[in-house]
Amino acid sequence: MPSARHHRAAALTTGLVVIAAALACAAVLSLVVGSRAVPFGTVLEALANPGGTTRDELIVSEVRLPRTLIGLFAGAALGLAGTVVQGVTRNPLADPGILGVNFGASLFVVVAISVFGITSLTGYVWFGFLGAAAASALVYAVGSIGRGGATPIKLALAGAAVSAALSSFTTAMLMLDVRAYDQFRFWQVGSLAGRGMDVVVQAVPFLLTGVLLALLSARALNALALGDDVAVSFGQNVTAARLLAATAIVLLCGTATAMAGPIAFVGLVIPHLARTVTGPDHRWLLPYAMLLAPLLLLIADVLGRVLARPGEVQVGIVTAVIGAPVFVALARRRRLAEL
């Protein structure tokens, strides 16, 4: 007879299928809904024949399709990155920002605008990615100093210190260059709009590598959750495991931040939502987070288009409105649990 483990695996697999179906529906909704509604049949025609010339077909192929793909990719990256960060730091209130990713990307974007005069989003992508990677590497290097290497507490403290320093540099540069501020503020709020397929194509190699590394780190994260001593007793190389996880975080956060700007709370909230279904096993937790995060991001983006017609509310604002109360509730529940 099937064991309880087989029943649970079947139930979790069914859950993944259901979420994937909901994600497909959200993607279709993202292609249809906007300041100008496009019939579903026109959407299918535009996808089947990308060379269409009618207004609705151009809206789908040139505007909404890149926007939807960026929502899918950036959401998956943020969900995975948040889950890995919480696993490697053993801190359920951690998010990708704990490694200074957003602040590093922001500083490098400001440098691109102010120093190099770059005004295109394609240019921002590369500087944002380099900034995110540099900040994460710096945090890991600082957190590795001293006995014990990069422990969760040291990584959190190093992340807070580096983030504060990078934020100060960014603010100082913006105060000295009003032109840079005018351009930077549109990227900083976090948005899926205004990006083309060139941004998607540039991001895909980094995203796929990050996804692969994150999924490969599942067993290591399960071992690290038991504590370093227990992980070592199981034969786990703690330093190598953290390095693998950190590399995945850099690639995923850097890609998402460069594509869509610093979108808050997705990487914090989604792992908790996934954990209520899967439990602490990262072999299931990571795939669930990878599907739930883009589902949330696309729904938030569609809501932003509907709530302020004919304009729109940027997706970074919508996720902040959704995520802030959830963060407060999580913090209160954790504090009550510790009393």
Average pLDDT for the chain: 84
Cβ-contact 259, 199 below 8 angstroms: yes
Q: Which of 175-189, 210-224, 237-251, 312-326 has the highest mean pLDDT?
A: 210-224
Q: Exposed, middle or buried, 234 (CB in 10 Å: 0-12/13-18/19+)?
A: exposed
Domains of the chain are 4-338 (1.10.3470.10)
CA distances from 289 to 20, 116, 188, 196, 315 (A): 11, 37, 24, 26, 19
Q: How far apart are CA 275 and CA 1, in angstroms?
A: 28
pLDDT-derived band at 33, boundaries 50, 70, 90:
confident
Cβ-contact 126, 258 below 8 angstroms: yes
Taking only the tens place, the pLDDT of each residue in 62-116 is 889 999 999 999 999 999 999 998 888 887 777 777 778 778 888 898 888 888 8
Nearest to residue 37, comparing CAs of 71, 60, 67? Answer: 60
pLDDT-derived band at 23, boundaries 50, 70, 90:
very high
Q: Exposed, middle or buried, 56 (CB in 10 Å: 0-12/13-18/19+)?
A: middle
pLDDT of residue 2: 59
CA distances from 170 to 52, 181, 204, 285, 300 (A): 43, 10, 28, 35, 28
pLDDT-derived band at 302, boundaries 50, 70, 90:
very high
pLDDT of residue 49: 77
Taking only the tens place, the pLDDT of each residue in 125-180 is 788 778 888 888 888 788 878 776 667 678 778 888 888 899 899 888 888 887 77
pLDDT of residue 264: 79
DSSP letter for 191, please: -
Q: Does pLDDT of 206 surpass 80? A: yes
pLDDT of residue 140: 79
pLDDT of residue 46: 78
Cis, bond preceding 310 (omega within 30 deg of 0): yes
Residue 28 burial (CB count, 10 A): 15
Q: Exposed, middle or buried, 211 (CB in 10 Å: 0-12/13-18/19+)?
A: buried
One-letter identity of residue 169: F
pLDDT of residue 137: 83
